[in-house]
Amino acid sequence: MYLCLCKGLTESDVQRVAQACQANPKALTTALGLDDDDCCGRCAGNIDQLAACAASGCLRAAG
Ligand code: FES
């Protein structure tokens, strides 16, 4: 499922990068390219939520 239409990012893209960035919000934003001028920012809340969950390991526990 796509979370970010501007960058074409899926849930698995965000999970992978969030784990690599250890949920550092600035590093995650930069790594996903969400600080580019062409991003609308509408996905930020959902991406933050999924990234926090991925970094805490809750997705591994659920899956
Ligand atoms: S939908 Fe993600 S920046 Fe626009």
Q: Which of 8, 5, 2, 6 is nearest to 36 (CA)?
A: 6
What confidence category does residue 61 fall into, taking pLDDT thresholds of 50, 70 and 90? low
pLDDT recorded at residue 39: 95
Q: Which atom of ligand 1 is nearest to the CA of 7?
A: 2
Tens-place pLDDT, residues 19-54: 888 768 888 899 999 999 999 999 999 998 888 887
Residue 37: give its domain's CATH number. Answer: 1.10.10
Domain extent for 24: 2-62
Q: Which atom of ligand 1 is nearest to the CA of 34?
A: 3
Q: Which residues line ligand 1 (CB under 6 A)?
A: 4-7, 34, 39-43
Number of domains in the chain: 1
Beta bridge partners of 2: 10
Q: How far is the CA of 46 from the centre of ligand 1 (A)?
A: 10
